[in-house]
Structure 1
Amino acid sequence: MRFFLKLISYIFHPLFIPMAGTAAYFITTPKYSSSDIQNVILLPTFILTVIIPIITYLILKNLGVVHSVFMPTAKERKYPLYINILLLLLVIYKVLPNYYVAELHFYFLGIITASMTTLMLILIKVKASMHLMGMGSLLMFLIGLSIHFEINITLAISLVTFATGLVTTSRLYLKAHSKPELLIGFLIGLLSQLLMIRLWL
């Protein structure tokens, strides 16, 4: 059971949430976009939100700044969050403007808002679950896409809701977070996207 729940924490790591939302957008949108345009957005986004953060994590771990991929202490989360916010800003200003996609633009703004909120909480010694922040962001974005494009993606929304429950169980079982920390993280992700949805719905 421990192995399975730890695997869930890896699979649904917040690192993968920006790419998950980007992929979900291109899968669900009825708007036409050629494979070339998709590749021009997907590849740089993958490099900026997955590859570079992994390399950065390895450097920080080598320097002794972080000790685990889950960064259990609030202090360990500070520097990766600074770097993550900068990389997300690069996605908005260097990747998306070339083939401007309003929905994705505001999705990334929502993730930045959530990350900055989490960072501010860390500075006042409050730890929020970044796993649940990511899941809340993705869930609300999918709901927004469903309403915006008037498409039935109930199955995808249900699967993400179920996955959110698994991630919550995993973080509790592994004693990575308390219940309030999980709830705070989820609400930060959900509300950050909710604030942005009204700008593109």
Structure 2
Amino acid sequence: MKSISAVFHPLLMATYSCLIMFLVIPELFAPIRYESIPYFIGVVFVTTCIVPAISILFLRFTQRVSSLEITKLEERSLPFLSIGTFYGVTTYMFYAKMNVPITLLVMMIAVTCMIFLIYLISFKFKISVHSSAIWGVSGLFSALAIKYLTTLNITAIAIIFFAAGLTTTSRLYLGRHTPQESWSGALLGFTLCFLTFYFFG
């Protein structure tokens, strides 16, 4: 179950989403040239996973957090504020400096908003970030499936939902979250990303 939590770590969700789009609906990347898409996904990976991960390592090294998993409610605010800031800066760079397709820009905006919502919620409640992230991906592709019925097939959606259920179950099995924390995270992620992509993606 620990391996499942690692494979579906929240910081990997933006990269996974781009990879799925590339494999299933590559036209969403237009006007980025097809051969340049892997390089763009690499940029997404570095800015949304590697850089935030380094910031968490720094917080651990300076003893601002007691664990890399950030399990204590009182330690969550600073990491999520820093990660949200990284995502916000990345989103702005994509908008102002790069010719990024609207769908990918909307994805980054949705994820950034979700991180800041989690930041605010975490002052009082230990919402599951794993559930928010993976169910956010499910909401994203559910909205895209409705808009691109002939392209995004039911098999891809089923696999994404299976991964979401498996990730949520793993967090419960490991005792990292209560059912309330897990499913509130799932509801937040799915609802926010579905509505954002359905109306703006």
Structure 2 match to 1:188: 188
**Correspondence 1:28 to 2:24:** yes
TM-score, normalisation: structure 2? 0.89
Deviates further, 176-185 or 106-115:
106-115
Q: Distance in 1 between matches of 2:198 and 2:141?
A: 14
Structure 2 match to 1:101: 101
Amino acid at match of 2:191: L
Deviates further, 58-67 or 180-189:
58-67
- Encode CA deviations 1:142-199: one digit per residue, 9 max, x unaligned: 1122222222332221112111221122111111000000011001101111231233
Amino acid at match of 2:89: L
Secondary structure in 2 aligned to 1:176? coil
Secondary structure in 1 aligned to 2:22? helix
Structure 1 match to 2:10: 14
- Contact 1:61–1:67 (8 Å) recurs in 2: yes
Instruction: Quote the offset at 1:30 in angstroms.
Output: 4.8
The alignment yields a C-alpha RMSD, in angstroms, of: 1.8
- Contact 1:44–1:95 (8 Å) recurs in 2: no
**Correspondence 1:112 to 2:108:** no
Q: Distance in 1 between matches of 2:73 and 2:104?
A: 29
TM-score, normalisation: structure 1? 0.89
- Encode CA deviations 1:31-57: one digit per residue, 9 max, x unaligned: 254245424532221111111112111
- Contact 2:144–2:197 (8 Å) recurs in 1: no
**1:1-201 alignment, distance < 5 Å:** 5-31=1-27, 32=30, 33-97=32-96, 98-123=98-123, 125-150=124-149, 151-200=151-200
Amino acid at match of 2:2: K
Name structure 2 gaps, 5 residues minimum: none
Identity %: 24
- Contact 2:22–2:37 (8 Å) recurs in 1: yes
